[in-house]
Amino acid sequence: MQRFIFRNKNKIALINGILIALAFIIRWTAGYMEIFTGLLVAASILGLIPIALQAYQALRVKVVSIDVLVTMAVGGAFAIRNFEESAIVTFLFLFGAYLEQRTLNKTRSAIKALTEMAPETAWKLMDDGEFEEIDIDDVDEGDTLLVKTGAKVPVDGRVLSGEGSINEASITGESIPVAKEAGSGVFAGTLLDNGTLQIVADRVGEDTTFGKIIELVEEAQESKSEAERFIDRFSKYYTPAILLVAILVFLFTRNVELAVTILVLGCPGALVIGVPVSNVAGIGNGASHGVLLKGSEVIRDFSRLDTMIFDKTGTLTQGKPSVAEVQSYGDGIDEARVFLASIERESDHPLALAVLDEIGETDYLEVTDTHVVKGGGITASVGGCRVIVGNQALMTEEGVPLSEQVREDMRRLERSGHSLVLTAVDGELKLLMGIRDPIRPGVADDLESLKKLGVKNLVMLSGDNQGTVDAISSELGLTRAYGHMLPEDKSAYVKDLIGQGEIVAFVGDGVNDSPSLALAHIGIAMGSGTEVAIETSDVVLMNSDFSRLPHALGLVKATSRNMIQNIVIAVGVVLALLASLIFGEWMNMSIGMLVHEGSILVVILNGMRLLRYKLRPSYRLGSRE
């Protein structure tokens, strides 16, 4: 019976409203007071049933809820035969609950949209060589799947064959399609705009990036912040206190209507709902913009940030070194490039890969007598020549003369943060390459936005040499930068700042920086939502999109402001209602309930503004949003 009543609570509110409307129409037109009173009595009893049941359930767990106060208030009004008040109060309370649920559902629109994007079927390659459509739950890791134009990618995996462009907005928040070809990674829930792809499943079901996003955002929206926990504790004692005040007022004044009105006006509904709706809407906005905020507590710490620490490689830089400048000396340069490529193709060192990318397609020669000099480079025989590839120290050790021009070029490149690769053939220096990990496009603007948003210190920690670190720091306008930092050095630095009372965020790749990510107040992971990044950090910037960071900080600050606004609105309305009751003549139970329900709607609508939040242009400074 209870389930039936709760399931039809909105219909009860509608019937309640119709009965009240009919009562007043009959009174104003025909003047039948008996029918007027009978309809109001029926409306009062009907409307009170779901409210009283909720009050009973609350009392069973020893909680004096708002429903208890309203039930007592309606019962009191009914006892003194104020049927107008009792009927109107029940309708306003039920209608307010309907509006509250309706608007709260809208704040969860990000989750609903994500869930609807989840694919339900997949085309699997069967043993007979044909593709067959199967339920998504029947897909296993290693299965080969077909994705056609306009279809959703069903799993995380990689492209085996075919080409196409995929809209990855559900993962990254970025609407520009991304080209895919053989070897490219793909995410579940993304949409193939054009082309046809065959992919192999790497992660399926809840283990996909898309599945983890939904799980994390749902958990985050259900989590409670310190402010919410305080309000829960406050309501636990505040509600019985209002009940006690109403009883004392009745004992001293013998005015039942006044005591009942205090019960109605003192309901802390807007206070209870105001903070959660802000958190839910803020987290939902982040999810739709490629920012995962893992819980309400993250919002509190993130919004009070003092210092933001960055790893260099893969965070401020692209994580893929490339040759930025090449200087050649003397004759036989083309031959030297072939010798260099022949040696470097046997290495998987990042600098070697950068050199091969620079040289491009060429004819390779046989390499013999290879000797690796630890910390220096390589010596080998190529095409009948002795070739030395490495740093300045190796050249000096091998007796390769370096002219003043070469030394000046080296100093210039080192000052600008380049790693050097020198190539000598038969004792003569032929090539000097300056290799650098390029800074992410737009990072300087994003860092300036963070400063405008109130971050006092921007610090870079890197395992690279201090010269390179200083060059990048100067280019980006960082507060401090330290090189030669091992993972344990980084975590020790974070711990020291926390010990000094600073609120610290660490931005890294979520793998080798996991100790620092876990130790900082806010761990922010770059890394396309990889499993390690998601598990270790508090915030995930999907697709390693650094430009989402200013949006994330602006969003949590807006969410914190929104929470405070809702608390002020809720407390202010209750105080104003009680003051009007004590010092004014016009306040009554119906007006109080109308204002009370209105305040709940106001704080919900105020919280919902966060769903449309975007970083103000004055903060964006060329952001790619």
For 416-447, b where at least 16 C-beta lie within 10 A, e where not — what string?
Answer: bbbbbbbbbbeeebbbbbbbbbebbeebbebb
Rg (alpha carbons) of the chain, rounded to whole number: 34
Q: Which residues contact 126 (CB under 8 A, 6 or more apart)?
A: 132
CB 459 within 8 A of CB 307: yes
| Token pair for 420 | 């050097």
User: For helices 589-608 and 269-288, what crossing angle results, to 10°?
Assistant: 20
**Cβ-contact 261, 581 below 8 angstroms:** yes
Q: Report how far residue 596's alpha carbon sits from residue 576's, in angstroms, rounded to the nearest whole number.
A: 11
Out of 67, 143, 156, 311, pick the active-site residue.
311
> Is the Cβ–Cβ distance between 239 and 69 less than 8 Å?
yes
Measure the CA–CA gap between 325 and 435, rounded to whole angstroms: 7
State whether residue 540 is helix, strand or coil.
strand
**DSSP-derived pairing of the beta strands 307-311 and 457-461:** parallel
Rounded to 10°, the helix 548-583/269-288 angle is: 170
Identify residue 151 by its one-letter amino acid code. A
> Rounded to an integer, what distance in angstroms lies between the CA atom of residue 582 and that of residue 572?
15
Distances from the Cα of 226 to the Cα of 169, 367, 498, angstroms: 32, 65, 20
Please say if 509 is a catalytic residue: no
Active site positions, annotated: 311
